[in-house]
Chain A
Amino acid sequence: MACAGYFATRRAMLAATGASILGMPVRHLLANAGKDHVQKAEHVILFWNGGGMTHLDTWDPKPGRPTQGEFQPIKTSAPGVEISEIFPQVAKQMHHAAIVRSIAGTQGDHGRATYQLQTSYLPGPNLIHPGLGSVVAHEVPNMGDLPAYISISGFAPRAGYLGQKCEAYYVGNPGEKDPYLAFPEGIAEVRGNRRLEVLERFNTRFAGTKQDPRLSDTKTSIDDAVRLMRSPALEAFELAKVDQATIDRYGDNPFGRGALLAKRLVDKGVRFVQINRGGFDTHTGNFPAMRAHGEVMDPALASLVADLAADGMLEKTLVIMLSEFGRTPNVNANAGRDHHAAVFSCFMAGGGLRGGQVIGSSDKDGYEPHDRPVKVPDLHATVCHALGIDPAKEVMTPLQRAMKLVDGGETVKELFA
């Protein structure tokens, strides 16, 4: 989990030492050396909406068009930016946020599209590409005691060739006790600590004088685990200690609690939090389903952005909401919308981007990109850019094949302008 700690790049190590060359802090030198990679963001909160969320009924309303559907657009705190009525609270935070309305996807199958949106690569038959969270955990040094990459409420992509240390740490049901973070039931603190002391003695003796690195790795892993178990930062997981009014503000449901937990984790230094939610594959009954989703998503997303902004954390935290594709502008016979990859939208806020703007547009009915098409890997390059990661950096697979962190892609620079 201490992913970047293990694979600390020279660049990161230099930066971490706070060393200076010719009187200029190394951090600045590095920032300059990295051309346009100006590192502002330190954390990412990714909302993954599985199933393919309709773009027309969320971020890209089409008032007065036959494809409009049942929702009306509403004005937001960003002049000229309108979003769907299912997001009344998010609308008040739009001055912090940006919407990309011209993502030009290519995959209409859930599996392939999910893979591409989460990794930037298309699935190949015999290679697993790492998800965005693993890339970040690999590239950015750890901060604090908690794992660098945490996935809440389900699926996160694998770390692939970045290795097990860059896999997500799972949190099943936010707010619920994770049995692995404390001694087993019935083992009191004193007894558990005594066990750990004896274990350390046994392992030290076994390792002998010339430590085999694999034996010392076990020791490191145990030390990391114990540090986590004893860390005051674990308190972030204890939503029971949060006052009910705050929980209610986010929504007392897994999604709201997940967003609240994400905020608390980022405060403790976690680099990448992914919050998963499904149920967007609305082939039938799209509108009541989206209204219900809105009721859950709106307070959580709005409260998160507002709270990050209030704490001064929004500048350092990129919030992004993604789905594998959009949905057809035409409404089908079952009052649903089907898969549509040719154009769809995403929501972003914080992380140094300029709020209150819309990037690109779809055509008047929401079928195709109209203006400034954004390729899927462009989104990944953009997230990397926000964090000061070079998306073109190459890492080696176990077969010594050099792979770029992002499959091509160019930063959507206007976001930061």
Chain B
Amino acid sequence: MLRYWFGLGLATVLALSASPVTRASEVDLVLNEENARQGVKQAPLPSASDLAFLRRIYVDLIARIPSEAEIREFEAWPAETRRDKIIDKLMADPRFLERWTVFFEDMLRLRTNATGGAALISFVHKALSENMPYDELARRLLVANGKAGRTPEVGFILGDDADPMAMASVTAQVFLGTRIGCAQCHDHPFDVWKRQDFYGMAAYFGKTRRVESQLTRVVYTTEVDQSTVMWPPDENASEPRKPMAPRFPFPIEEDNGSLRFLGRLAQLRAPKETKVVKNPAASVDDLLADADTKVKTRVGLGGNGLDPQAEAKKDIRKIDIQASLQSQSELRNKLAELVTSPRNRYFARNLVNRMWKELIGRGFVEPIDDFRKDNPASHPVTLDYLSEEFVANGYDLRFLIKTIVRTDVYRRHRAPSDTEDAVRQELEVAFLATPMRRMISESLYDSIVTAGHLFEFKHPAGANEVVTYEKIRVPKTVDGKPAKLSTPMLFGGRPMAGMAGMAGAGMAGSTPGYALEDAIELDFTKVLDEEGEEVAVEQMRVMSREELEAERMMKERMARGEGVEYVEKTIKRVADANPKFNTSLKMESPAPQGHFLRVFGQPTRQDLGEARDESATMRQALMMLNGRLTHEASRVGPLEPVASLLQGERPDVPGAIKLAYREIMTREPSAAELSEAREIVAGAASPMEGMADLRWVLLNCNEFRFLP
């Protein structure tokens, strides 16, 4: 056991070994055997300390670090059961649903700004809250037909404009971890996929159409008789082109009784009666109601003098929308059955591999969407064991998450920082050491907010009042008096500042110029109304800098406009700039370009196979060093617990430092760190400022953003 870290020094080894050793789960036993068979000689790193585990599990399950109160709660529980207990507690937290919605947003490439995208995100959130089996979730996304927003699932194929070629690639890559997209243009160079396989897959989507009414902008999908997927694919082929017959290119295993997990799944599902699914299709009246408002808006803008009602009706009646919405896609039903079949090994393996990667930091198959013969899993037996258990337990996502975080693998220590690179990699590939993982951007944002006590006010009301004077122009009304100030025309040298403040109603204490660090909450439960229909969420968006600029330019043009008279006024604004931040888990997703979340690697979710970018960039550094979020999180608020330790007659600076380390790093400082921190605090103009300096450093350092 000492083989790989006797260089560490005895004290370190003892400290590592002293941490509690958990009972090896079944997964660990299978993995250990597999490692032994593969001739792996190294010993695993011991389990990380309780507090390191606590930080890891909080960030992984609910996307933020624990607060001091939560650390204490955990420490008060019995040592033998506290790790299991905290898992159960966090999985019941509402943030668990939000955090794992983000996982599926990345995997399924969900976007609030795509057609029906916000409704689809709400649908996934709801599916997680109901613990919908994963196979059902996938099936519903693949078969849906209907109107964007009204039938939330249809947002999935609308995200790629229901294009058969795109959907063939997406289905294979997202649900089966396989890149067959290359076979669209040529036989796959490194794999078995032929062009026929790709077109056979695409053919399942060949009769599906995205329809958009030119007048009402209502978007829906429907089925037609004629497929658009033709073979041979080349338009100038010598042979005549015919519609391609759908064919599923992935192996479906025989059910000859030898696959025990199939029997277990059948047994689990047998007693349950099939639920009657409410027909999600829209009625003509629904569409008309919707069309009406949209047409009114457009007429108001364009002024083309049409009767909106009549036009909308004419437009909609032209197509037998009721019938087409009701039409089910036979082909896609068949495809969904094959994709989600328990006898299609790729389906469960793909999800298990993705989930394992998310929690452990490394997939059995890497990259996670490149399953193929030449790229075998590092531990095929373990992957299959977990996959079969996942299937046998009814594709239960909570079961899978819980199983993984209860393994020894999840709890292992990182390789010590003086381990040779090659050795470290060996350890990580064999899952004997935890790889260095950076928090995803949402977790980083929310962890800074948590550490800095910014979810609630930490300054008394009025302590941060800012008085600004602004010159504004308001259009004169007919009687010559200024109009209401609600939409001031901006004027003078600082238009951006005012705009940033006006960007969203729900933004508390937003400071000029820092809009890219704000998070405006979008309530998942309210995106879908009682009827399950998407409501407008545009107003809840954070405006990107470009949008702000566009708005500013528009206003500038309006301000130049002829025929409107303006009154110039100087107004005094008093704002209580008491900082308070919202969670980033509920905002528009993906965030606008340039937003904190995007800068720290949130994907655009346009590209297929786009992973979270974990590279470090100068923009990240500028945002962390000079941004408002880190600055406000570092500043000590009088209402924070640490303030009372720094002020008053008997200040307790060491106590305050320990608290800062626990709140920000989820650990106690070492003796050396404590004395170093005392110097930092003492060297500042005041203990409050010194504490702010210390906290700023802690929030900015690598240890904060990389998980222990």
Contact = CB atoms under 8 A, between A and B. Distances in A.
Interface of A: 1-2, 124-128, 147, 153-155, 158, 160-161, 163-165, 167, 169-170, 172-173, 176-184, 187, 191, 194-196, 198-199, 202-203, 206-210, 212, 214-215, 217-218, 220-222, 224-226, 228-229, 253-254, 276-279, 292, 397-399, 401
Interface stretch (B145-153, B305-313, B394-402, B692-700): B692-700
Contact of B421 (A178, A210, A228, A397): A210
Given A127-B606, A210-B417, 17 more contacts: A2-B618, A125-B161, A154-B549, A154-B553, A155-B550, A165-B615, A177-B513, A178-B513, A180-B626, A183-B625, A203-B701, A203-B702, A206-B703, A208-B416, A214-B438, A214-B616, A226-B621
Contact of A126 (B160, B417, B616): B160
Contact of B496 (A126, A176, A206): A176
A345 B179 CA distance: 41
Contacts, number: 187
Given A181-B622, A199-B700, A210-B420, A165 B631 contact: no
What are the 10 closest A-B residue pairs judged by CB atoms, nearest first? A208-B417, A225-B621, A125-B166, A126-B608, A184-B631, A217-B616, A221-B616, A224-B618, A154-B546, A154-B549
Given A1-B619, A2-B618, A147-B618, A202 B626 contact: no
Contact of A214 (B436, B513, B609): B436
A165 B626 contact: no
B607 interface: yes
Nearest to B699: A199
Nearest to B549: A154
Contacts of B614: 214
B702 A210 contact: no
B680 A198 contact: yes
Contacts of B680: 198
Given A179-B513, A195-B696, A184 B628 contact: yes
A155 B548 CA distance: 11
B82 interface: no
A254 B616 contact: no
B594 A198 contact: no
Given A125-B161, A170-B546, A198-B680, A180 B627 contact: yes
B163 interface: yes
Interface in B616-668: 616-623, 625-628, 631
A214 B414 CA distance: 14
A368 B160 CA distance: 33
A169 B615 CA distance: 17
A77 to B, nearest CB: 30
A224 B622 CA distance: 9
Interface string B547-559: 0111011001100
Given A126-B166, A172-B548, A173-B496, A160 B621 contact: no
A147 B163 CA distance: 38
Given A202-B697, A398-B610, A224 B621 contact: yes
B691 to A, nearest CB: 12
Nearest to A124: B166
Interface in B575-634: 593-594, 599, 601, 604, 606-611, 613-623, 625-628, 631
A170 B550 CA distance: 14
Nearest to B438: A214
B418 interface: yes
15 contacts: A1-B617, A126-B181, A155-B546, A163-B613, A179-B628, A180-B623, A180-B626, A191-B693, A202-B702, A215-B702, A218-B702, A220-B616, A222-B625, A229-B622, A398-B367
A203 to B, nearest CB: 5
Contacts of B604: 128, 158
Given A125-B160, A398-B607, A398-B611, A225 B622 contact: yes
B66 to A, nearest CB: 20
B678 to A, nearest CB: 13
Contacts of B367: 398
Given A202-B697, A222-B621, A398-B611, A172 B496 contact: yes
A176 B701 CA distance: 30
Nearest to B557: A279
A286 to B, nearest CB: 15
Given A126-B170, A160-B607, A191-B693, A172 B549 contact: yes
- Most chain A Cβ neighbours within 10 Å, of B109, B419, B548, B617: B617
A279 B556 CA distance: 11
Contact of B417 (A167, A170, A209, A277): A209
B452 interface: no
B492 to A, nearest CB: 12
B494 A170 contact: no
A47 to B, nearest CB: 14
A143 B118 CA distance: 43
Contacts of B170: 126
Contacts of A155: 546, 550
B621 A125 contact: no
Nearest to A289: B557
B514 interface: yes
A179 B514 contact: yes
- Most chain A Cβ neighbours within 10 Å, of B160, B181, B182, B619: B619
Contacts of A198: 680, 693, 697
Contacts of B83: none
B169 interface: yes
A179 B163 CA distance: 43
A193 to B, nearest CB: 11
A253 B604 CA distance: 33
Contacts of B594: 170
Given A225-B621, A225-B625, A401-B182, A199 B697 contact: yes
Contacts of B705: 218
Contacts of B620: 221
B545 interface: yes
B317 to A, nearest CB: 27
